[in-house]
Amino acid sequence: MTSLDNLTLPVRLRANEPGILLIENFLSPEDCAELMNLSLPHLKPSMIYNSQTGSLEPSTTRTSHGTFFDWGANAVVSRIEAKITNHFGYHLEQQECIQIQRYRVNQEYKPHWDYYQPHLGSDNAESLRNKGQRIATFLFYLQPAKQGGGTVFPEMGLHFTPKAGSLIYFENIKQLPEDFELQPLSLHGGVPVLEGEKWIATKWIRQPKC
């Protein structure tokens, strides 16, 4: 896990346990606009795997539309991936590919944990076995909603409504000397958009391979 004490970035807001940072101007306005433009033709409703029926269904917890880009898919994605490595030390092998989400009025992502809970289904257990736990999350605000649509951490009493280009970084686990444990206080969600469109990009970070 990255030590947040040595960051050379201007931190606007910060919490400990779990580590949560708000960093403004992490992405340029041009990069935000380009990611939205490139995503637009590919957006699809967020789906969720129903382990009972074995099929994909529209998610009721995340009602946004989304898409993703492979690692290094274009210059903007490569820049973001390099910045994550340079500033936070997470190598590309630890980074999941970038996801883009667009929330329209009334769309939201209900409070959830980003870490995998194997008892919630075989998909979770398999992903955990193959790629390791999701230890941290990068949320990039490409465009905030005009009203509503912030990111909340209900257990921490935090509610962010960041500007375009901002990064919310948070840790989903608590680092112990030799091990880690899941951090339930990392519960978070995207509150419903009331006006306009909210666009974010997400990068989940897996535990390093030993």
Ligand X SMILES: O=C(O)CCC(=O)C(=O)O
Residues at the interface with ligand X (CB under 6 A): 109, 114, 137, 139, 151, 188, 190, 200, 202
Q: By CB under 5 A, how many residues form the interface with Fe ion?
A: 1
Looking at beta carbons only, is 94 or 137 nearer to Fe ion? 137
**Each residue of 190-205: b (16+ CB within 10 Å) or e?**
bbbbeebbbbbbbbbb
Pair of tokens at residue 53: 């029926």
Bridge partners, 141 (sequence order): 200
Looking at beta carbons only, is 74 or 159 nearer to Fe ion? 159
Looking at beta carbons only, is 3 or 123 nearer to ligand X? 123
Pair of tokens at residue 49: 């795997």
Looking at beta carbons only, is 3 or 110 nearer to ligand X? 110
For tokens 């990111």, the residue is 151
Looking at beta carbons, which pairs linking 2-6 to residues 24 or more positions away fall under 8 Å?
2/88, 2/89, 2/90, 2/136
- Find which of ligand X, Fe ion, none residue 190 binds, CB within 5 to 8 Å per kind: ligand X
Write the binding mask 113 to 152 for Fe ion: x where contact by CB under 5 A, - elsewhere. -x--------------------------------------
Residue, CB closest to ligand X: 190
